[in-house]
Amino acid sequence: MTINLLYISISGNVRSFAKRIQQLSESKHQENPSFPIIQGKEIHDNSSVVQETEPYVVVVPTYLEGGNGIDSGDQEILTESLGDYLDDQTDRTLCLGIIGSGNKNFAHQYCLTAKQYAKRFNLPFLADFELRGNAKEIETIYLMIADLWQETHKIN
Ligand SMILES: Cc1cc2nc3c(=O)[nH]c(=O)nc-3n(C[C@H](O)[C@H](O)[C@H](O)COP(=O)(O)O)c2cc1C
Tens-place pLDDT, residues 108-131: 899 999 999 999 999 999 999 999
Q: Where are the domains of the chain?
A: 2-155
Q: Which atom, in ligand 1's list, is nearest to the CA of 79?
A: 27
- In CATH, which of 3.40.718.10, 3.40.1160.10, 3.40.190.10, 3.40.50.360 is domain 2-155? 3.40.50.360
- Regarding the beta carbon of 61 and ligand 1, being less than 6 Å apart is answered yes
- Strands 75-76 vs 125-130: parallel, antiparallel or unpaired: unpaired
What is the whole-number distance in angstroms between the Cα of residue 102 and the centre of ligand 1? 5
Question: pLDDT by residue (tens digit) across 46-72?
Answer: 999 999 999 999 999 999 987 666 666
